[in-house]
Structure 1
Amino acid sequence: MAKIEIYTKAFCGFCARAKALLDSKGVGYEEFDLTMGGPKRQEMIQRADGRTTVPQIFIDGVHIGGSDDLAALEREGRLDALLNA
């Protein structure tokens, strides 16, 4: 099973949508809540090539992008292969 990391904030609809998709796949993920900022926010920005919006999603250390990017992988039929790698 792939290692999934997702950076989120409270009350973020895009974050909720991304987590719901991952939950529907039955996969676990490590969530980093950036609501209060802190060092994890800087970590996310560095890992996500300067992106500052949430969510930012990583699968096995590879930056996937945000909620729309995750949904696009699902529509294209490529998400399951990444999750089960």
Structure 2
Amino acid sequence: MKKNYIYCSDTCPFCQRAYQLLESKGIPFKKHYVKDQNDWNEVMEITGRNTVPQIFINGTHIGGFDDLYAADQSGKLDDILNG
């Protein structure tokens, strides 16, 4: 199984919502905390975005919480999980 992980900050309300959605679906994930400029540089290099959360499911970059929610509502998240 490919990794599920989130670049995150525990002070971010959208990160909290992403954790809740993933946990409610029983999707295990690891948190990669963005703490300093080096971490932000890594997020930018990998995703092209400068916000958290940045969510990866089965190695696929989903995006932020709004993207995760939309993928869940459309069924795309299930496709990624089963793919």
What's the CA shift for 1:38?
4.6
Gaps of 5+ in 2: none
Change (3 A) 1:60 1:40: farther
Amino acid across the alignment from 1:42:
N
Change (3 A) 1:2 1:26: farther
Q: 2 CA distance for matches of 1:39 and 1:83? A: 30
Task: Count how many residue pairs are aligned between Structure 1 and Structure 2.
Answer: 83
Partner of 1:70: 68
- Structure having the higher helix fraction is 2
Q: What is the TM-score when the length of structure 1 is the normalising length?
A: 0.85
Q: 2 CA distance for matches of 1:6 and 1:32? A: 6
Q: Which has the higher contact order (CA 8 A, sep 6+)?
A: 1
Q: What is the TM-score when the length of structure 2 is the normalising length?
A: 0.86
- Between stretches 37-46 and 15-24, larger displacement belongs to 37-46
Alpha carbon RMSD of aligned pairs, Å?
A: 1.5
